[in-house]
Structure 1
Amino acid sequence: MFIGHFTEQPWQDDKTGLMGTQTTDLSISNEVYDPEVGATLYNRYLDEKLYAEEMGFDGLMLNEHHSTPFCMQGVTNIGASILARQTTKAKIVILGNILPIWDDPLWLAEQLAMIDMISRGRLVSGFVRGGGRESVSHNSPPVFNRERFEEAHDFVIKAWTDPGPFRWEGKHYHYRYVNPWMRPYQKPHPQVWIPSTVSVETVRWSAQHRYPLVLLATRLGPTKDAFDMY
């Protein structure tokens, strides 16, 4: 059994009464953001993760959302890199990088490889398609969400595993020279998990790639159906 520590890391401000939100709706202006509160919360959430390792949790789980107080973690790889250096035993579980909003997946492959090296092989790299709100807030065309997800995934895996240099000419991504100097500590690459909310296509895709499927906040009936399909 694998037991991980996870919270959404919401915005919490006693002065304004804004204590996160129930959804990731893009409806609250950042005018109410207080940098002092933000700095305190970021450090508090990191301290909670360090304490979770002390208490024996197997994994420290991080996710991200954008442009909403629902989740303060807008750049998951920063938190993961800090934990990679400050912890020694727990897996660093990213749930996960939103592939369709990455215009440069080579940069993502490099970042994740560095996290895996700094942690000496404790990275679990989750990849997600993200919600429509992420596409809107990062100007990523929703109609190409799945295509960009799958192509970015294929590119990252190749960048991790194939010796360079090589060229990549896809539909959404083009590189003349791929030769990342930083490569993962784990061989052939870090374990990949796929968080989802019971998308039939994602369930099937995860099973085809033999990736663990992670269902987050899904109803019991659809959850059972998804795992039966998987």
Structure 2
Amino acid sequence: MLARLSIVAGLVVGVIVAGAVLGGILAFAPEAAQPSAPLPSVAPAPDPATASPESSPSVPPSVAPSPTEVATGPFHVGAPAPALVVPQVGGGTIDLASLRGKPVWINFMATWCPPCQDEFPLMNGFAVRYAEDGLVVIAIDVREEEGAVASFARQLGATFPLGLDLDGSAAQEWGALALPVHFWIDAEGIVRNGALGGIGPDVMANSLRAIMPGVDVTP
């Protein structure tokens, strides 16, 4: 009996002590941290369909360029063609000024360029079909040795002249910073159209019509 009382008394004392310890811990514990303010969020852009005119920036119609201006601006369209004098593969010189009075198609290219390889047979077909109409097709290889260019032309059966822009200066002058690039120049020496490569026969034919008025050019 005494043993049981001793056990009970011990348990009571233990509970009291534990309560005191816990109370002390809570009393000296730091205050719970207050939740921090949320970070500012970026407001979503207004829906163009619902935004008011005051909140939506716009470009005055008189300033915004038309799609045609954007597409043709880099190709000197409507301006006299830049000068072009380069050595010709196989000997001689290609001088664009000497071709005044004829429609000229100039293609800046390289032998390592897959679109150039695809376009050469198409260009060759146009050169052969419209030679009697005065069309002159010229390919200008950029920064490659003559031997590689001559071999490339033979493999693809090119019948038109190829020039060598050995230091890339002609390409830079014409703005041909990616290859291939095409320029179509009329008999007056004015650039009438231009295109970045990877183009097909329809674009080629349409551009040739611009420099050969009255000629029925088909793809």
TM-score class, shorter-chain normalisation, is under 0.3
Bigger relative contact order, structure 1 or 2, given CA contacts below 8 A and separation 6+? Answer: 2
Q: With structure 1 as the length reference, what TM-score do the two structures score?
A: 0.25
Which structure has the larger Rg over C-alpha atoms? Answer: 2
